[in-house]
Every structure is written in C-alpha cells, then in structure tokens.
Chains A and B, each alone.
Chain A
Amino acid sequence: MYKVAIIGVGQTRFGEFADKGVKELFVEAFLEAINDVDKGIDPKEIEEAYIGNLGVGGIQLGNFSSMAVDQIGLHGIPATRVENACASSGFAFRSAVMAIMSGVCDVVLAGGVEKMTDIPRDKLRYWLGVSGDTEWERLAGMTFPGVYALMALRHMHQYGTKREHLAMVAVKNHKNGAQNPKAHFQRETTLERALNSPMVAYPLTIFDCCPVSDGASVAILCRADLAKKYTDTPIYVAGFGAGTDRLSLFEREDFTTLMSSVLAAKQAYKMAGIKPKDVDVAEVHDCFTIAEIIAYEDLGFCKKGEGAKLIEEGETEIGGRIPVNPSGGLKAKGHPIGATGTGQIYEIVKQLRDEAEKRSRQVSGAEIGLTHNVGGSGGTAVVHILRRG
C-alpha cells in the first residue's frame, strides 16, 4: 500500500456570509488549497474528489459532487458526495486517503462545504434534527443539544464533573478562536458569562453549544513518494481509524463515552504506531462543551472520568501538555457541518508546518497532530493522525 501526504490546504473563514452561497464558498476554499501547494500544481492533475455535505437549503441535493467539481473546473473526474452527518468531510478525507493507498489514484481532493445560515429558522430546526434518531428521540421532543445534555448529566453524576468545567471548555476555545482570523467567533468570553447565559437544554447553556455556520474547506492529497515534487513541507497521514455506534443514545449502555470515537482512535494509534501521549496537538469534535471533555477520555489524553480535571488544570490550553482545539474548535471556529472535518485537517496541517497566522496560537514544535470528527451524537466517528515529514 502507498503512503499518503497532504500537499495543500484551504479554508474559508467560518461564519455567516449573506453574500456567499455553497458554490462561492467551495471555490474559495479550493483556490486557496491550490495556491497553498508551494511548488505549484495544475488542478488537472487531480484525479478524483470526495466532498462532504449534509444538504443545500435544508434539503438533500442529488448529484451534489458533480455540481461541486463543475464549479472548480474539474468536471470529468469521478466525484462522490460523502454524508456522515457532522463527520462528512472527515470521512471524505478518509476515502481520499484510501483511494491513494490502494494505488487507484495519485492525486485526490478531499473537502466539504455547508451553507447553513440562509435556511429559514423553522426549517433549520427540522433539518438539524435529521442526523440523530428521529423515530424515538426526536419524536419524544428531543434535540441535539438535548442528547448531549443527557450525556453531560450522566458525566456529572458518575464522575463529579461540574457545569464550571463545561464553561472552562467554552472559555478556552473562545480564547483560541479570538486569535484565529478564520474563526466564526473571534472574541473571548468569561466563565461567568458562559455559566449565566440562557439554558438551551439543561445543563447546557448557549455557550456550551457550537454555532450554525457557513464555510468550506479543501485538502489536496497525493502519494507520499510524489509529494516533494509539489511542496517542501508535505504533511504525512500516519494513521486513521473510523467507527460507528448505536444511532440512538438511549440504546447505548454508557452515555459518558462515544464507542465510535474509542474504536476510531484505537485503530489510528495502532496504524501510526504511537500512543496518545505522543500527540502534540489535537482538533477534537466539540459540538458541545461536554463532547470535548468526553473526547479527552475517549482519545486517551486522560483516564476515563478525568476529563474535567484535564481542562481544570489547563493541560489542553496552548502551552499545556496536550493543546486541544487551537483553532477555537467547533465552539468558536464554527461548525459548517460538511466542512468541519477537512477544516480540522486544515488547522493541523498549518500547526505542523508552524504556520499559524498568529504566533500566540501556534503550538510550538508540534510534530504529531490528531483530528477527531464525530457524526451526530456519536453514530459515526473518524480519527486521523498527521505527522511532519
């Protein structure tokens, strides 16, 4: 099997852009990724594309990938839309990696795009609920924040985690986002503000939830032995893993872990031949603050039940033992569903190349980075481990 390298990455700012549609966003991320290949690449060298997307205008759109490659002038190549809820482009990236590993392709595009803010509010309410269990959870009046709230309350009950710990995740990620010119929220917040903002689903407040964002992200991958032709600073895919779990939270035995994440991480560490302690920087799926605390445990950054302690001791801040979400994470950087996974890849590639726009946001000397992208309430998860050459 061939080894795989990332030679270029691009990402729009995540946020609310009234003047940009799904096409403009995707083209912007694509052009940045092409220009990011420092020795240059002819876009026609791209042989295949995998693109993450949940829907357009609150509904699914047939042949989405054909539209996307048409917009970037690559009509003709095989293209596939990948949908795994919020993990769509994480799985698109995985498909691109496998296409190269297998020897079918030499150069492949992986990306994602989502336009969420031009959907009328009531339609958005409907649409946001489609990535979990509809038949039972949603028809009991449950929402996505509600499902994570159920996990949070169990984590508090079993391990003594407090609302303050959840708020600490929000404060840290807003602090990082404030230094990221591509983040949706570029402002800091305080523990008091996070704790005292309106409840969305007890015990989660609005500050425990990620925003609804527009955005796109693209990565260009190639066979590792060809990478130096395109760039002096390739970033290598050292390992990956993926998994699934029971779709409905209520059918799971333990609410304080995502089995899909645990399975994905185990495979990725094994393939990369590393241990969790070897990871220098991670972008994890903090769709809600409790999800970041659970991710610390599921990814092995601390023992089960000690996620709250890890955030409290500042170990996941930039400068800490294992900096998590230097981009601001989904919480502050934003969460344009289909673009989030390759957006995490974008951040880790920048970190490993020592190219964070502001030095205060750069994790110094990072050599190994991890991305963790979760679909829905843990129905799917995918982990990638990237390494500097």
Chain B
Amino acid sequence: MAYVSIPAYWKTIPQRYSLIGLRCKNCGYINFPAREICAKCGKKSEFEPIKLSGKGKIYSYTIIAAGSTPPEFLLQEKYVGSYPVAIIELVEGPKIVAQLTDYKIEELKIGMEVEAVFRKIYEDNQVIRYGIKFRPIRKRRIHKGS
C-alpha cells in the first residue's frame, strides 16, 4: 500500500475515531484493524463489533527524529520536531500503533499506562485526518476550593 486516499481513510473511520474492534464469532479473537477473514482462525466468520476501552500499556516505542518523518507529517515535523510513536497493548488484548501526546519524554517507558484521546493526526489535500493518540494516565489533581 502506498497512498491512503480520503475514501480509503473514511472506510476505517469506526476504527480510527472510536476504536471499534471486531470479535470473531468463531474463535473469539478480537481483530483490530477490521478485516474480512479472522487473523487468528483464518475463517471467513461473522464478526461482532466491540468498543475497545482505549486503556492500555506501552508495549514498545520510538522517537521519530525530525528530518526523517513520512511526508504526511512534514507539518508536524516543522512545528513540533521529533515525536514519539508507540505500540500500545490494549487491556482487551489487541495491539495498536499510535502517536503519544501530552507526554514528558524522560518518563516514557515500556509498561507505562496510557489512554486514548481523539486528536488531529495530519492534513492531506486540505482535509484534516483525525484519529487516536495516547497519553499517559496521570493521577487526578486534587483542586482545593478557592
């Protein structure tokens, strides 16, 4: 695959916007992204849509250096510079690839707990492509009344 057209992107909006996985009715495996034949049992099965919680842990990560980003991310490279991309292992099992956001670079590590947030991913043909990024789960600050 090379260029991902706007229609091709639209087809995957349930996954990209809402983290909808497909549970195979034959073997129970949760397929993410969507597919027609189950990746686990290899059968053309019925699938049950299942909303994934968006909670998980960093399974691995890297920091893509400014100057080496894919062409879709030239704007981000220009304004933000280097950025981290991680593999998140969701609590329901599937792994997902996504950028991290609201992070401190020095605190990133395998096993860190993260949650999904809806964000702008990139722009193409004057269309903003939205999707999911992940941010570290922080303890809620206790605000004392003033």
Contact = CB atoms under 8 A, between A and B. Distances in A.
B96 A250 contact: yes
A159 interface: no
Interface string A236-252: 00000000001011110
Given A199-B65, A201-B63, A201-B64, A142 B85 contact: yes
A199 B68 CA distance: 10
A154 B59 CA distance: 8
B88 to A, nearest CB: 9
Interface string B7-28: 0100010000000000000000
Given A134-B4, A139-B129, A153 B69 contact: no
A293 to B, nearest CB: 16
A199 B63 CA distance: 9
Interface string A108-137: 000000000000001001100110011111
A14 to B, nearest CB: 22
A200 to B, nearest CB: 5
A137 B83 CA distance: 14
Contacts of B62: 142, 146, 149-150, 153, 201-204
A143 B95 contact: no
Interface string B121-145: 1100000010100000000000000
A2 interface: no
Interface in B60-75: 60-65, 68-74
A161 to B, nearest CB: 13
A84 to B, nearest CB: 15
A204 B8 CA distance: 32
Interface in B7-65: 8, 12, 33, 39, 59-65
A140 interface: yes
A109 B55 CA distance: 53
B37 to A, nearest CB: 13
Chain B interface residue bracket vs A: 35 or more
A134 B85 contact: no
Contact of B4 (A135, A149, A198, A250): A135
Given A138-B70, A146-B85, A250 B97 contact: yes
Contacts of A122: 71, 74
Given A134-B1, A136-B33, A129 B70 contact: yes
Contacts of B71: 122, 125-126
A151 B69 CA distance: 18
Query: Which of B2, B60, B82, B99 is the most central at the interface, judged by chain A CB atoms within 10 Å of its CB?
Result: B60
A140 B85 contact: yes
A150 B87 contact: yes
B72 A138 contact: yes
Interface of B: 1-4, 8, 12, 33, 39, 59-65, 68-74, 76, 82-83, 85, 87, 95-99, 110, 121-122, 129, 131
Given A122-B74, A140-B99, A249-B87, 19 more contacts: A125-B71, A134-B3, A135-B4, A138-B70, A139-B121, A139-B122, A140-B98, A140-B121, A141-B72, A141-B73, A141-B99, A142-B85, A143-B64, A153-B61, A153-B110, A154-B110, A202-B63, A204-B62, A251-B95
Interface of A: 122, 125-126, 129-130, 133-143, 145-146, 149-151, 153-154, 157, 198-204, 246, 248-251, 255
